[in-house]
Structure 1
Amino acid sequence: MSKPGLPPLAAFSDRQQTLMRRLLAAPEPLTADSLASRLGLSRNAVDQHLKNLERDGYVERQTLPSTGGRPSHGWRLTADGIHLFPKHYAMFSDLLINMIKDQSGGEVLGRYMESLGASLADQLRERVQGRSEAARIDALVELMKEVGYEADSQPEPGAELPLIDAHNCIYHHLASRHEEVCRMDLALMEGLSGRQVEHVECMVRGGTVCRFRLGRRLTDSDESS
């Protein structure tokens, strides 16, 4: 699983993937000449690949220690370049959640999830502060998209506020095993919208979307509890 917002490694050409794998495995930055030799490519071809990857933020230059001659530079992956490679976040998260649930029970796990959602809302609150309610809901949908949800809002007949739909579940594996995980998203949405959020439909539990309804305004005591 790549970092949210980044393309999968398979989106790159075979040569770019091979080049990035070489950089990932190298303990020190590699020069373009070294990469050309290792990959069996011309220096011009390697320079072009590096130029494109540097433009998009996946590789960067680093000045190499001087050997008395003309200063030279090598190439290494940036943090975003490293994040392109698959990672087993889901496995780690599953192990951690299982441990908490086994030791402390589902209700404690649920409270942990709510605390995580509330903490994330605190970090993101400046993105919605000072906005009208409609603009806050739009900003909430955009934030959901940024972390990987295919989200949108749509009017609900007879209701003051729109429904928010997520057409995918970014925690599907975890949520299918631990329903408490959903409480994190609910706490995040409540913290940013300032309203109680009802999870009226859930993909993990047979729904076609994850659908959220915004309810009554939260009081200060609600938000701090």
Structure 2
Amino acid sequence: MKTTDRILESIKRNGAVTAKQLSEEFGMTSMGARQHLQALEEDGLLQFEDIKAKVGRPNRHWSLTPKGHDQFSDRHRDLTIQVIDAVEHLFGQEGLEKVALERENSVYQSYRTAMQDCLTLHSKLQKLVELRSAEGYMAELQQTPSGFLFIENHCPICKAATRCRSLCQSELNVFQRLIGDDYLVSRTEHIVEGERRCVYAITQ
């Protein structure tokens, strides 16, 4: 993977970064990091914001532009949008909701089969990270004092989910069904709402 691609993936996963942070992560000079960042800005993939520091000059933080986010896969998005439009035209909003429900049940059954040997919450979530990462969601798991955060740094169906919000709700439903009624799954960050990632809090 090229250095520029690795930089984009790092920012996609971790959020805004300074040239100093990037130089430490990739073992390059700050000047080299700045050159890469500026080149990506010229390509329209990155943007920056100067944030005032407590002491000295402001720190320049670099983040992905919409074009930068589009460098990551959004599987079959044009075809998917066309299908969604056709379903809505032929069957209305009710038809879209039925399609989302059918997809929800199919995904749930597939995941449940893959997770059948997972007996603990942690093992279920680790398997879910594996499954979702294989599908392009760049998933990770973090433990918190109150439970877990299930994080998806990318949404490969984002365009479709923006067009059909029932898809987002069905994904939340799938997670809740897999985890079970002993725990609550709530979405605290949402890519479709303009945030950098989707985050689900799992608490008891």
Q: TM-score, normalised by structure 1?
A: 0.50
Q: Residue 172 of structure 1: CA displacement?
A: 1.6
**2:137 is equivalent to residue 155 of structure 1:** no
- Number of matched residues? 130
**2:113 is equivalent to residue 144 of structure 1:** no
Percent of pairs with identical residues: 23
**2:188 is equivalent to residue 200 of structure 1:** yes
- Where do 1:70-219 residues align within 5 Å? 89-130=76-117, 131-157=119-145, 159=146, 161-195=147-181, 196-214=184-202
Q: Distance in 1 between matches of 2:85 and 2:103?
A: 17
Q: What 5-or-longer segments of structure 1 have no aligned partner? A: 1-6, 8-87, 217-225
Per-residue deviation, residues 3-46 of structure 1 (Å, max 9, x unmatched): xxxx9xxxxxxxxxxxxxxxxxxxxxxxxxxxxxxxxxxxxxxx
CA contact (8 A) 1:140 1:192 kept: no
Question: What SS does structure 2 have at the residue aligned with 1:117?
Answer: helix
Over the residues paired in the alignment, what is the CA RMSD in angstroms?
2.8
CA contact (8 A) 2:158 2:192 kept: yes
Q: Residue 153 of structure 1: CA displacement?
A: 1.3
CA contact (8 A) 2:104 2:170 kept: yes
Q: Residue 107 of structure 1: CA displacement?
A: 4.9
CA contact (8 A) 1:128 1:136 kept: yes
Q: Residue 152 of structure 1: CA displacement?
A: 0.7
CA contact (8 A) 1:166 1:210 kept: yes
CA contact (8 A) 1:115 1:187 kept: no
Q: Distance in 2 between matches of 1:115 and 1:215?
A: 27
Q: What 5-or-longer segments of structure 2 have no aligned partner? A: 2-74
Q: Residue 136 of structure 1: CA displacement?
A: 0.7
Per-residue deviation, residues 35-79 of structure 1 (Å, max 9, x unmatched): xxxxxxxxxxxxxxxxxxxxxxxxxxxxxxxxxxxxxxxxxxxxx
* Greater gyration radius: 1
Q: Which residue of 2 aligns with 1:15?
A: none
Question: What SS does structure 1 have at the residue aligned with 2:170?
Answer: helix
Q: TM-score, normalised by structure 2?
A: 0.54
Per-residue deviation, residues 135-180 of structure 1 (Å, max 9, x unmatched): 01111111111111111111234x2x20111111111222222222
